[in-house]
Amino acid sequence: MADSVKIDCNVEIPLRDGVKLRADIYRPDDDASHPVLLARLPYNKDLSLISLSLLSPIRAARRGYIVVIQDTRGRFKSEGQFSLFAGEAEDGYDTVAWCAAQPWSNGQVGMYGASYFGATQWLTATANPPALKAIVPTITSSDYYEGWTYQGGAFQQGFIQFWTAGMATETLTRLPDAPAEARSKLYSSIFGIDKAYRGLPLVDFPPATVPGLIDHYREWLKHPALDDYWEQVRIESKYEQIEVAALHIGGWYDIFLEGTLRNYVGMRTRGKSARARQRQRLVVGPWLHGLFDRVVGEVDFGPAVLLDAVDLGGLHLRWFDHCLRDQPDTGAPVRIFVMGANIWRNETEWPLARAVATRYYLTSGGSANGAHGNGQLLSQMPLREASDTFFYDPERPVPTWGGCTLMPGAQSAGPRDQRPVEERDDILVYTSVPLTEPTEVTGPVEAIIYAATDGRDTDFTAKLVAVAPDGRALNLCDGIVRARYRMSLSRAELLEPGKIYEYRIQLGSTSYLFAPGYRIRLEVSSSNFPRFNRNLNTGGDFATESIGRPAVQRVFHGGPRASCVVLPVVPQG
């Protein structure tokens, strides 16, 4: 344990192309060599709190680690041209090599950090710098197409426009030749984001019309399918070449939850070596993106989920002690927070092998529209064939009301009472009878929906909801599928109007204990705006079109078209 810490600010780190990145270095005030912990971020090393809230560099330095916190290329104190994700593997490799070669380093390097800091970790790991031994990627993704920019083929408009506009405030300072209206366009979009969300076409999002400001936004819109453009930086395609040990930290209501889970499973099963495969750990709490609090959305999960109680900083240090100092690993392979019961539980795997895929089937008397309709969820397949119809108007989309997202607004994220939106007639609501015994749902959830539309393209959404005896309806997880990508995210295939298709909607994962008296509910609709961009139902280019048409949607259930939700039910007792 070091008595004092020395801090060197704005230390230049040269890269292979001559660009210099700057970092602050926290180290024990001694002459010994130590392992290095590196965090690379685009959000300003001088101000960013997310890197400090999880693991304080002062705490780590007092523990005997060197901590290097670096502005990435083209951001704040660092030189170069910034481009999201591009070049992070090479820059990370060079920075790790520099850290390992310093006289105060013992040659062992770990990386840590949340969100985009997690992306810099994974992209560095794909380049396999020899000194990089362990990482702690927190609330981050496995794919910068699916789960970051798009989901189920739909554009994550709410997050992407909010995030890229916020990032552009620093970029603007590096554009001396930007037109006078550039600042006005940027700040009017940030402070008037609700109005900006309604604007069409998407390609004309005001900051995107300023050359050099958010060019990546327009580029992402040009690649609405999972093509070679995305494969270059796709972590999921590269597990076999990644050698590092990893402690994965996620939240049930984090926008990147599924990426965190896929990274754990992918490295556990496909990592480059047996050692890498064995050195994978997973922790998932009930948190939002970047908010590790007891109150999440409208639910208080209790003091056990607070940062002080979980001690994520201590968890980091124990992991690095294990990986960089060969200390024993005393942690469970998987630790999850079971909502509803509101307890932490250790597991040996993810997903849980003992969970039983259990189908709950949709049925109705032909009018499941809204919470006051006659939609039901049954544990047995209904033999009678029936259907429900709703009218989806892109001018009147279903508003985002909680869930795994990141954007401004009081109703934007987390568990929230769904009753206000369930009054709408363009949401089909299917609800089970009250449960007579505790029912735990832990794992990935999927809805299988048989549906037809009169459009050439459309969206279908599904949301799993826990309904309390008093009627409160809390969302657990949800998903979307863009019809043209129903067969493959890599290939668009438009619809034949009126034809019935099977849609498999991935709702993501959850862990929730339904108490006796609770009911299970599934909502089905065609929009979740502005979290996802509105499908205009034309089959055209969603980035450039601005005029849409309403669509008549019909959902089938019973008989050979047994629409259902598949829940991973964990046996009790």
CATH of the domain at 404: 2.60.120.260
Put the strands of the sheet holding 343-347 in their side by side order.
Answer: 5-14, 20-28, 66-71, 34-41, 105-114, 132-138, 245-251, 280-285, 334-338, 343-347
Could you tell me if 341 and 362 lie in one domain? Answer: no
Q: How many CA atoms lie within 13 A of 459 on its CB side?
A: 29
Asked if 11 and 25 count as a contact pair (C-beta separation under 8 A), the reply is yes
Could you tell me if 413 and 383 lie in one domain? Answer: yes
- What pLDDT, on the 0 to 100 scale, is given for residue 412? 82
DSSP symbols for 175-190: -TT--THHHHHHHHHH
Please name which of 323, 322, 348 lies closest in space to residue 336, comparing C-alpha atoms.
348
Q: How far is 281 from 319, CA to CA, in rounded Å?
A: 9
Could you tell me if 105 and 180 lie in one domain? Answer: no
Could you tell me if 362 and 454 lie in one domain? Answer: yes
Q: How far is 102 from 348, CA to CA, in rounded Å?
A: 39
DSSP symbols for 34-99: EEEEEEEESS-TTT--HHHHHS-HHHHHHTT-EEEEEEPTTSTTS-S---SSTTHHHHHHHHHHHH
Could you tell me if 13 and 44 lie in one domain? Answer: yes
Where among 289, 324, 347 does a domain terminate? 347
Could you tell me if 270 and 137 lie in one domain? Answer: yes
Which CATH number does the domain housing residue 83 bear? 3.40.50.1820
- Could you tell me how far CA 428 lies from the centroid of its own chain? 26
Q: For the chain, what is the domain count?
A: 3
- Detail the DSSP E strand segments found in 314-420: 334-338, 343-347, 356-363, 376-378, 386-392
- What pLDDT, on the 0 to 100 scale, is given for residue 52? 62
Where among 347, 375, 391 does a domain terminate? 347
Q: How far is 202 from 489, CA to CA, in rounded Å?
A: 20
Could you tell me if 34 and 120 lie in one domain? Answer: yes
Could you tell me if 195 and 259 lie in one domain? Answer: no
- What pLDDT, on the 0 to 100 scale, is given for residue 51? 61
Token digits for 502? Answer: 């099977």
Q: How far is 74 from 69, CA to CA, in rounded Å?
A: 15
Start-to-end CA distance of the chain, whole Å, equals 45
Q: How far is 45 from 244, CA to CA, in rounded Å?
A: 25
Strand pairing class (376-378; 356-363) = antiparallel
pLDDT tens series, the chain, 573 aa: 667 999 999 999 999 999 999 999 999 999 999 999 999 999 999 987 666 678 999 999 999 999 999 999 999 999 999 999 999 999 999 999 999 999 999 999 999 999 999 999 999 999 999 999 999 999 999 999 999 999 999 999 999 999 999 999 999 999 888 778 898 999 999 999 999 999 999 999 999 999 999 999 999 999 999 999 999 999 999 999 999 999 999 999 999 999 999 999 999 999 999 999 999 999 999 999 988 999 999 999 999 999 889 999 999 999 999 999 999 998 899 999 999 999 999 999 999 999 999 999 999 999 999 999 999 999 999 989 999 999 999 999 999 999 999 999 867 899 999 999 999 999 999 999 999 999 999 999 999 999 999 999 999 999 999 999 999 999 999 999 999 999 999 999 999 999 999 999 999 999 999 999 999 999 999 999 999 999 999 999 999 999 999 999 999 999 999 999 999 999 997
Asked if 394 and 537 count as a contact pair (C-beta separation under 8 A), the reply is yes
Where among 330, 347, 364 does a domain terminate? 347
Could you tell me if 199 and 311 lie in one domain? Answer: no
- Please list the active-site residues: 115, 254, 289
Please name which of 159, 102, 154, 172 lies closest in space to residue 131, comparing C-alpha atoms.
102
Cα Rg, the chain, nearest whole Å: 24
- What pLDDT, on the 0 to 100 scale, is given for residue 47? 87
Domain containing 57 equals: 5-146+230-347
Q: How far is 68 from 26, CA to CA, in rounded Å?
A: 7
| SS3 (DSSP) at 154 | strand
- What pLDDT, on the 0 to 100 scale, is given for residue 312? 95
Token digits for 165? Answer: 């506009």
Could you tell me if 294 and 380 lie in one domain? Answer: no
DSSP symbols for 415-463: --B-TTGGGSTTSEEEEPPPPSS-EEEEEEEEEEEEEEESSSS-EEEEE
For residue 351, whether the previous peptide bond is cis, meaning omega lies within 30 degrees of 0, is: yes
- What pLDDT, on the 0 to 100 scale, is given for residue 558? 96
Please name which of 104, 141, 142 lies closest in space to residue 238, comparing C-alpha atoms.
142
Q: Please state whether 517 falls in left (phi above 0), alpha (psi between -120 and 50) or beta.
A: left
Could you tell me if 9 and 39 lie in one domain? Answer: yes
- How many distinct helices (H) and strands (E) make up the chain? 13, 25
- What pLDDT, on the 0 to 100 scale, is given for residue 181? 87
Could you tell me if 277 and 405 lie in one domain? Answer: no
- What pLDDT, on the 0 to 100 scale, is given for residue 530? 97
Asked if 189 and 161 count as a contact pair (C-beta separation under 8 A), the reply is yes
